[in-house]
Amino acid sequence: MHNAVFSSMGINGVYVPMQVREVEQAITGLKALGFRGASVTVPHKETVMAYLDYVDPIADQIGAVNTLVCEKGQDGITTLVKGLNTDWLGALRALEQVMSPKGSHIVIMGAGGSAKAVGYGLKKAGAQITIANRTEKKGQQLAQWLDADFILPETVADIKHADVLINTTSVGMEPDYNSIVINPELLPKFKTVMDIVYAPLETRLLREATRAGCKTIDGLSMLLYQGAAQFEAWTGKTPPLEVMRAALMQALSTAKK
């Protein structure tokens, strides 16, 4: 999606994958080679923070960085690397296309790094949050950090009212197509169901939610909006979302063949 926008906007840039084993050396390499920035994915989102010159306060609160921006220091010579987190923005913007999170009750399935970023954005938007996680200790820790409620997944049935269900786990991801994070019979409790998994694009959770009459948001939406925020951080320009979305759809279509 980034290369598609570089091309459409006439920007002389390229976005390429690089496997990194030594994070500190990778940051040195970014500075030495004149990079404008980079994405950071698992397992380096937390580790990389120790080697950055500056971490955005929101990323620092979330405890994870997914975007690096290389900038010149005050001397105009030294390159500094700043860490941001756009995952929370991606999830929030994806949900806002369907509804206003403010004042709504949202159940987040999972308590990992993605759940933390998603939860931060929703809390910032004024939502009431409940964390549902199999590991009680980890779930309780995230719930406490978000000032949210905690439940075990099997007790979702006891919730009297909820507006949105968001799956932040990898349940349902290829090749485990038939897995689902919640009993499908409980889906009518929710008006909207969102899944951050984007391969496959329509997970079993989303198929069952559609049958239950829920509005659905696929994982491509979060990926799109967090990527748009990255692009803005690197270039200072607003990317055409339709170009990014088309590139993502093309990539998913190609991957299936």
Q: How many degrees, rounded to 5, is the angle at CA 177 between CA 173 and CA 182?
A: 80
Active-site annotation holds for 82: no
**31, 45, 123, 237: which one is catalytic?**
45
Distance CA 189, CA 215 (A): 12
Rounded CA-CA distance 154/51 in Å is 40
Strands of the sheet containing 105-109, edge to edge, are 149-151, 128-132, 105-109, 164-167, 192-195, 215-217
Q: What residues are annotated to the active site?
A: 45
